[in-house]
């Protein structure tokens, strides 16, 4: 393949759903990049050790200090058994950010961490000049202005099926030719349910996504439609459009990954069977195309694709996110941080399924909610986030929801 030789990859979140699929892509297409370093939370030591042996990174970072010893021992023993050299192992969130900023313009960072902890590594990667393949949508939701200001044109390539689809549909389209974006949503496992039926939902039911296999937070977010809400904001920042030009439509088959409607009334769609390796490979190899990367659609058998409006009366997550985006000034950071706390509380049995968006609304409407001005920078945002997390936890334990 032309254009990618010698590129080095830093992979943040290597043991997750996106991270493991990214290494799959690298194994099949070694010409795309060589793994320079990986970062993980630390909960799956055996998988990290297998990855180290298979890809021989020079640097490994474990963000959770309590898990670092176990990961280090597992890697060391696997390397000794295989006669391989042991990579440099660093510990802590600062080391993750340091790794994210370690390479230069010819290289690529894939940020596949879950949650707003991905923001500082995102900013470090942008500052280094490396291409940023961005799965961690939370960093764009929480720090949209900071990220777009730090990014050079074309530096951020989205790794999210909807946004990857839109980026592909926009090839050859000028910004002033866009009328609006149409983000598709599977509708999640509870499409068609009423609020009464949602009141009884358990974590196990929320984890049964109809079309995608993903990490726990994003799967729960898909059930509440918070994921789609975050994706509306992600699209606003990624493609520089206001929220009222980003529509959402339910498409249960997850084949049309999103669309762009142009000013002349034409709609351009990107379609392929649901497989995140398509989005990952697209972002890593762009502008090259990887032959055989994922299965293509087969039109020799009958199929039907359906589209329907979102039931916004039952699922209020998207409307709340639109309001947060219109307001700006840290409201999106509050939205996301509260959701992260709410998902944890839902799994701990301390919050109901409907309580998740009720909590987001309550924290957003809190009379003492601080604002973050642009001038406050990343510290201002992190302070607002910390306030949101504290307030969310207080509301959860006060049993007002
Ligand atoms: P996951 O929970 O499966 O994996 C998260 C990974 O991040 C794990 O390797 C974990 O060890 C690591 N991690 C956690 N905290 C870390 C930290 N502080 N530093 C370094 N590593 C850390 O999540 P996922 O489903 O792979 O999703 C990752 C991101 O990609 C999320 O932002 C998600 O919204 C986005 N995304 C995922 C999919 C998907 O299909 N899974 C699709 C689109 C977007
Ligand atoms: Mg998506």
Atom of ligand 1 nearest to the CA of 212: 40
214 CB near ligand 1 (under 6 Å): yes
15 CB near ligand 1 (under 6 Å): yes
Q: What pLDDT score was predicted for residue 190?
A: 96
47 CB near ligand 1 (under 6 Å): no
Give 14 Cα–ligand 1 centroid separation in angstroms.
8
> Domain extents for the chain?
8-159
Cα 19 from Cα 12, distance rounded (Å): 7
Residues with CB under 5 A from ligand 2 (ion): 160-162
Cα 138 from Cα 114, distance rounded (Å): 8
283 CB near ligand 1 (under 6 Å): no
Q: What pLDDT score was predicted for residue 209?
A: 84
Point out the residues of the chain with pLDDT beneath 70.
Answer: 1-5, 399-401
Tracing tokens 């910390």 back to the chain, one arrives at 386
Cα 236 from Cα 222, distance rounded (Å): 19
Cα 385 from Cα 390, distance rounded (Å): 9
Give 172 Cα–ligand 1 centroid separation in angstroms.
31
212 CB near ligand 1 (under 6 Å): yes
Cα 255 from Cα 297, distance rounded (Å): 9
Query: Nearest 5°: phi and psi at 28?
Result: -80, -25
Give 390 Cα–ligand 1 centroid separation in angstroms.
23
93 CB near ligand 1 (under 6 Å): yes
Cα 264 from Cα 219, distance rounded (Å): 36
Cα 360 from Cα 229, distance rounded (Å): 12
136 CB near ligand 1 (under 6 Å): yes
Of 392, 133, 156, nearest to 279 by C-alpha is: 133
CATH of domain 8-159: 3.40.50.720
For atom 41 of ligand 1, the residue with the nearest CA is 214
21 CB near ligand 1 (under 6 Å): no
Give 194 Cα–ligand 1 centroid separation in angstroms.
30
């Amino acid at each position: 393949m032309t254009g990618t030789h010698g590129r080095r990859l830093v992979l943040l979140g290597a043991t997750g759903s996106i991270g493991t699929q990214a290494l799959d892509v690298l194994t099949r297409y070694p010409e795309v990049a060589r793994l320079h370093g990986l970062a993980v939370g630390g909960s799956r030591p055996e998988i990290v050790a297998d990855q180290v042996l298979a890809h021989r990174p020079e640097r490994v970072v474990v963000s959770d200090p309590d898990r670092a010893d176990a990961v280090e021992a597992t890697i060391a023993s696997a390397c000794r058994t295989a006669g391989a050299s042991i990579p440099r192992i660093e510990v802590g969130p600062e080391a993750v950010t340091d790794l994210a900023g370690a390479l230069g313009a010819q290289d690529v960072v894939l940020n596949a961490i879950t949650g707003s902890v991905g923001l500082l590594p995102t900013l470090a990667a942008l500052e280094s000049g490396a291409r940023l393949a961005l799965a961690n949508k939370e960093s764009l939701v929480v720090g949209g202005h900071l990220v777009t200001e730090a990014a050079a044109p074309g530096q951020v390539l989205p790794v999210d099926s909807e946004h990857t689809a839109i980026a592909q549909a926009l090839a050859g389209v000028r910004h002033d030719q866009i009328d609006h974006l149409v983000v598709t949503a599977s509708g999640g496992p509870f499409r068609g349910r009423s609020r009464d039926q949602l009141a009884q939902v358990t974590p196990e039911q929320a984890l049964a996504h109809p079309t995608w296999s993903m990490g726990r937070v994003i799967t729960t977010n898909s059930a509440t439609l918070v994921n789609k809400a975050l994706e509306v904001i992600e699209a606003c920042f990624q493609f520089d459009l206001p929220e009222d030009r980003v529509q959402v439509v339910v498409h249960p088959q997850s084949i049309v990954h999103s669309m762009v409607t142009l000013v002349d009334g034409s709609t351009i769609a990107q379609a392929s069977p649901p497989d995140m390796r398509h989005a990952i490979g697209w972002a890593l190899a762009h502008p090259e195309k990887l032959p055989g990367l994922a299965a293509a659609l087969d039109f020799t058998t009958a199929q039907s694709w359906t589209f329907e409006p979102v039931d916004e009366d039952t699922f209020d997550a998207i409307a709340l996110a639109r309001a947060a985006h219109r307001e700006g000034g840290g409201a999106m950071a509050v939205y996301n941080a509260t959701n992260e706390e709410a998902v944890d509380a839902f799994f701990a049995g301390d919050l109901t399924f409907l309580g998740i968006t009720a909590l987001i609304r309550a924290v957003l409407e809190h009379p003492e909610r601080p604002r973050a001005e642009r001038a406050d920078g990343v510290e201002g945002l992190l302070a607002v986030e910390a306030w949101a997390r504290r307030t969310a936890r207080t509301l959860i334990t006060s049993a007002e929801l």
